[in-house]
Structure 1
Amino acid sequence: MNETKKPLRRGRPRLKANEEKAEVSLVVALDRGIQVLICLADRRCATLAELAKITAIPAATAHRLLTTLQQRGMVIHDAEKGKWRIGPQSYRIGSTFEEGSNLLEVAPAVMRLLSEETGETANLAVEEGGLLLFLVQVESENPIRASFKNGTAAHFHTSGVGKAIMAFMNEAALESFLTPQILVQQTPNSITDAQELKAELCKTRERGWALDDEERFLGMRCIAAPIFDSLGKVVAGVSVSGPIARFPDHKLEGLATLVVKAAATISDKLTHSSAGS
C-alpha cells in the first residue's frame, strides 16, 4: 500500500528550548559588549575591576567580552598598567559617523567664528541615548576656559545645550524623553524638579536661547541655542561657555545674540546641504 505523505510544513522551524535561550544570550552578550565600549569611551581607560564595577557585569564575563573585542581590534590592553582602552577599529567605526554627518561638515567653521567673536569656547552637541554627546569643541585662547574631549557625555538638564534642545522638542517627544530621566544634582544650582525644569524650558523657548547658570560646574556659565534640520526638527545645539566672571548678567543678551546667530547659520547650511544632496 502507498502511504499518504504528510504535507511539508513551511515557515520558520520551531526552536528548541536551548536554541531559543542561546539566541537571547547572543543579544545580551552584544548589549554587554556595547556597555563595555561606552564605559571605556567615557573613562578613556579602565581596569577590569573598574569596568566590572561600573557596568555591573561579572568580572569573568567582562574579561571574555574584552578579549573578544581585543581580537577584533575594538579594544587594546596595556599589560604593564593593567588597563583597557578603545582600539583602532572602534575609532574607525566611529569616524564614519563624522564622515557622513552634514552637521560636522558645516558646523566647525561657524563655531570658529563664534569663538573669535565672543572670545569664548564654542561647543556642539547632540542627543544620544538620553545623554548629551559633545561632538566638537573650539577652544578659547583665554587661559581659564571650559575644556573637554570630543565624545564627552553630559546630563541634559544641567547643560545649556541640553536645555536648548529639550526646549524645542514637541510636547509628546519631550514627555517621552523626560520620563526615564533622573534629574541629578551636580551643583546647588542644578534643577532637580521636573516642573521647575519645564518652566525653564518654556522660558528658553520664548527667548530663543538657554542658560546653564553654574548648574553643571560651579563658576561656569554656558549660553546655547538650538540647531534645526531641513524639516525644522531640532537635531543639535551650539553654545559658548566660560567662567562666570566673563559671563556677567549684563553681557548675557549680547553673547546670546551671537550664539543664536551661529545656530541659525548652521541650521541654514544644513538645509542647503540637504537640498543639494
Structure 2
Amino acid sequence: MSVNRDTEAAEPAEYPAEAGPKASKPSKSSKAAREDSRTDMVGKALGLLVLLGDEPRGASAAELSRRAELPFSTTYRLLGSLTRDGFVDYEPDGRRYHLGLRVFQLGQRVSNHHGFAGTALPILRRVTEETGEATILSVRDGNHHLTVNKVDGPQTFRVTSDPGHLGALHATSVGKVLVAFADDATRTQLVEALDLEPLTEFSITDRDAFRTEIELIRRRGYATMDEENELGMRAVAVPVFNSQGHAFASLATAVPVFRLSLEALVALVPLLQAAAAELSARLPQQ
C-alpha cells in the first residue's frame, strides 16, 4: 500500500561532514515524528478500506470523508493511492469508490491460510446436501461476527449473509454461540459491554435477558435466532471448538421462516455438531 508523500518530509540521502560551522542531522525526535505520521496515514488508509467494506454500492470521497472524520483533501489523496495500488476501484460515472480486486486477493489468501476455503468448503457442502438449506461458517471479529464461508441451498430464496459480511453478535445464532463459548474473560466482557441494538422487534435488548440467553446456550450446546436479526429468517448454530474448549468459529444452518419451524431447525443440531467436530479436527485452530 503506498502512502501519499505529500504528507511526509523528504529525508536527505546523505549528510555532509561539514556545512558552515557544523552540519546537523535530523534529531531522533524528528525521525520519530515522521514515522508516527507515516503510521498514522497507513491507519487512515486502512480505515477507509473498512468503511468501503460496509458500502456494497460504493461511496463518494465526500461521504467517506464525513464518515472517517478526515479532511476531504486527505481522504482524496489516500483514495488516489489506494486506487493506484488496486485496493480501491473508482467508478467515474457515479464518482464512487469500491473495494478493489487486490482486497479480494488478500482475503482469499487469508481464507486459504485458515482453511476456510479448501478445508471447510467440502464439509459445508455436505451439510447443505443433507439439509437443502444454507450452511454458514463464522468467526468473531471484535464485537461482530464475520462470515468466512457459506454454501447456499438449492432453493431460490437465499440467505444474504455472504462471506465478508459483518453481523451483530447479540442478534444472530452464530454470534451468540461465539459469545457463549468464548473464554471466561472474553465472554464476561462481551455479555456486559455489547451494544444490544434492536435490529428487529424480536432482538434481545435487555442485559439480564441476554445474560440468561447466553447461559442457556452454554447448557444446551447450541443457539437459535428467530427473526431477531432479520425478519423472515431463523437459524441454529453450534460452536467449533479449539483444543482449549473455546469456540474459534461457529457453524449454522439458516432458513426462511416459511420453510422450517424452529423445532425442525433444532433437529439439525446433531448434524451440525458432527460437522463442527470435523472442522475442529481439520482447521488450523486460532
| Alignment correspondent of 2:195 | 182
Matched, 1:52 2:65: yes
Query: CA shift at 1:214, angstroms?
Result: 0.8
Matched, 1:99 2:112: yes
| Alignment correspondent of 2:179 | 166
Q: Deviations over 1:98-136 (max 9, x none)?
A: 221134332211111111211211111111232211111
Q: Deviations over 1:50-108 (max 9, x none)?
A: 22233222322211110111222211212122111122322222222022113433221
| Alignment correspondent of 2:231 | 218
| Alignment correspondent of 1:206 | 219
Q: Deviations over 1:240-275 (max 9, x none)?
A: 1111122313313312222222212211333xx77x
Q: CA–CA distance in 2 between the matches of 1:202 and 1:40? A: 36
The aligned amino acid for 1:85 is H
Q: Is the 8 A contact 2:222 2:269 kept in 1?
A: yes
Q: How does 1:10-21 map to 2 (within 5 A)?
A: 15-16=28-29, 19-21=31-33
Q: Deviations over 1:172-203 (max 9, x none)?
A: 11123445532211001111222221211111
The aligned amino acid for 2:264 is K
Q: CA–CA distance in 2 between the matches of 1:207 and 1:178? A: 18
| Alignment correspondent of 1:41 | 53
| Alignment correspondent of 1:3 | none
Matched, 1:153 2:166: yes
Matched, 1:227 2:248: no
Query: CA shift at 1:14, angstroms?
Result: 6.2
Query: CA shift at 1:140, angstroms?
Result: 1.2
Structure 1 pair 53–238 and aligned structure 2 pair: CA distance change class (3 A): same
| Alignment correspondent of 2:141 | 128
Runs of 4+ with >6 A deviation: none
Q: CA–CA distance in 1 between the matches of 2:102 and 2:75? A: 19
Q: Select between 112-121 and 245-254 the one with higher mean Cα deviation.
A: 245-254
The aligned amino acid for 1:39 is L
Query: CA shift at 1:153, angstroms?
Result: 0.7
Q: CA–CA distance in 2 between the matches of 1:174 and 1:250? A: 27
Unaligned runs of 5+ in 2: 1-25
Query: CA shift at 1:21, angstroms?
Result: 4.0
Aligned length: 259
Question: Per residue, is there more helix in 1 or in 2?
Answer: 1
Query: CA shift at 1:25, angstroms?
Result: 2.7
Query: CA shift at 1:145, angstroms?
Result: 2.9
Residue of structure 2 aligned with 1:195, choices 208, 214, 219? 208
SS at match of 1:46: coil
| Alignment correspondent of 1:250 | 263
| Alignment correspondent of 1:25 | 37
Structure 1 pair 180–53 and aligned structure 2 pair: CA distance change class (3 A): farther
SS at match of 2:140: strand
The aligned amino acid for 1:244 is V
Query: CA shift at 1:171, angstroms?
Result: 1.9
The aligned amino acid for 1:186 is L
Q: Is the 8 A contact 2:222 2:237 kept in 1?
A: yes
The aligned amino acid for 2:28 is L
Residue of structure 1 aligned with 2:282, choices 251, 269, 272? 269
The percentage of aligned residue pairs carrying the same residue is: 29
Q: Is the 8 A contact 2:174 2:250 kept in 1?
A: yes
Q: CA–CA distance in 1 between the matches of 2:261 and 2:110? A: 37
Structure 1 pair 103–95 and aligned structure 2 pair: CA distance change class (3 A): closer
